[in-house]
Structure 1
Amino acid sequence: MEKKSMELNQKMKGTRLSVLLGLLLSAGAMAETMHQDVSPGKLVVQVKGVVCSFCAYGTEKNLAKLEFLDLSQYGDGVLIDINTHRITLALQPNKPVRYAGIADAIVKGGYDPVIYHVALKGVIREHQGHYQLICEENGQVYTLPPSVEAAPLLGKQILVRAELNAEQAANAVEGQPIRLTKIKLEPQP
């Protein structure tokens, strides 16, 4: 009897370890590819708390009021996926994104924004010892992390995949450069 109990205990430990390893691997893969599917003109916000479509509707209405959304996409510029806890926003290319407005709309809807994923097209310039991405279509300016060596890319078209955390987005001031901390540079032909 004791031997069977020990065997069962060993199997359960192995199963728990396999489940834990699987979760860690899938979470790592998800984090690695999360921003890869975001294209220019879209912004994806990972949120906590979205569990039912009825509740999400209020947040969708709040977000749809933002003047920089492309209302011709998704019906109102907003797509909420309650299964993945992601909100996708279709952006007008010629209007700056108000990240603080997005954060306010999501929080008013009762949810917590976690990470903002965006793909930005523009030109790299140097300004006061920092590298910046200038989005030519809407004039928005993003300051690149100090660890990024962008000198070879000065003046060139580039795609920057970036993540902003909730604090960065909520504290973004309209008309001021937005400081990025987690990015991936993709030179354009």
Structure 2
Amino acid sequence: MKKLILLFVVLPLMTSPLAAVADELDTPAVAKPGEMIVEVNGVVCSICAKGLQKNLAKLDFNSPVISKKSGVKIDIRSGRLVMYRDPKKPIDFDGILTAVKKGGFELNKLYMHLTGSLESVNGKWLLSEKEGPNKFGFANAPTGLTKSN
């Protein structure tokens, strides 16, 4: 009987951290200006994460502001890596994907804080970054957008 009671007391304590991590993953990340948050599936230990961190730190647009060693900060529990990027350099999205795959992981989501201006080009809306060469197209832009002068 004592074993059964112990099981009912210990089991909820063991599974509650797992529920907290699941809730954390459902919450969208919020990137600060200059940050890029890369969310990957499959990061389970710090050794695995270090390889991925090294691969991402080699990318040219990365700026070593967050960590002097790599420029990439990682949270293993959420599988999110925070990179500080140089806004004056183009973002290498293919490089990010290659670095994640090379580490044996799967890219889940990417979060960025963008500041810039909207412009309409051939009926498509683009966001031109304020300080850099990057332009981002909107897949499902609202039809009510109008260009103001």
Aligned counterpart in structure 2 of residue 151 of structure 1, from 134, 145, 149: 145
Q: Post-superposition shift, 1:62? A: 0.9
TM-score between both structures, scaled by the size of structure 1: 0.61
Distance 1:51 1:57 in 2: 11
Alignment of 1:15-94 (within 5 A): 27=23, 31=26, 33-35=27-29, 37-75=30-68, 76-94=70-88
Distance 2:74 2:144 in 1: 35
CA displacement, residues 165-184 of structure 1 (integer Å, 9 cap, x when unaligned): xxxxxxxxxxxxxxxxxxxx
Q: Post-superposition shift, 1:110? A: 1.1
Percent sequence identity over aligned pairs: 31
Secondary structure, in 3 states, of the residue corresponding to 1:56? helix
Per the alignment, do residues 151 and 112 of structure 1 end up closer, same or farther by CA in structure 2, a change over 3 Å counting?
A: same
Distance 1:153 1:119 in 2: 22
Q: Post-superposition shift, 1:40? A: 2.0
In the other structure, the counterpart of 2:119 is: 125
Q: Post-superposition shift, 1:92? A: 0.8
Structure 2 gap ranges (5+): 1-18
One-letter amino acid of the structure 2 residue matched with residue 142 of structure 1: F
- For the 8 Å contact 1:62–1:105, the answer to whether it is kept is yes
Relative contact order higher in (CA < 8 Å, ≥ 6 apart):
2
- For the 8 Å contact 2:120–2:147, the answer to whether it is kept is no
RMSD: 2.2
Aligned pairs, how many? 129
CA displacement, residues 128-153 of structure 1 (integer Å, 9 cap, x when unaligned): 00111001311211111334246346
Moved more, 93-102 or 141-150: 141-150
Aligned counterpart in structure 2 of residue 111 of structure 1, from 99, 105, 113: 105
Moved more, 74-83 or 139-148: 139-148
In the other structure, the counterpart of 1:178 is: none
Q: Post-superposition shift, 1:80? A: 1.3
- For the 8 Å contact 1:46–1:86, the answer to whether it is kept is yes
One-letter amino acid of the structure 1 residue matched with residue 104 of structure 2: G
Larger strand percent = 1
Per the alignment, do residues 102 and 40 of structure 1 end up closer, same or farther by CA in structure 2, a change over 3 Å counting?
A: same
Q: Post-superposition shift, 1:34? A: 1.2
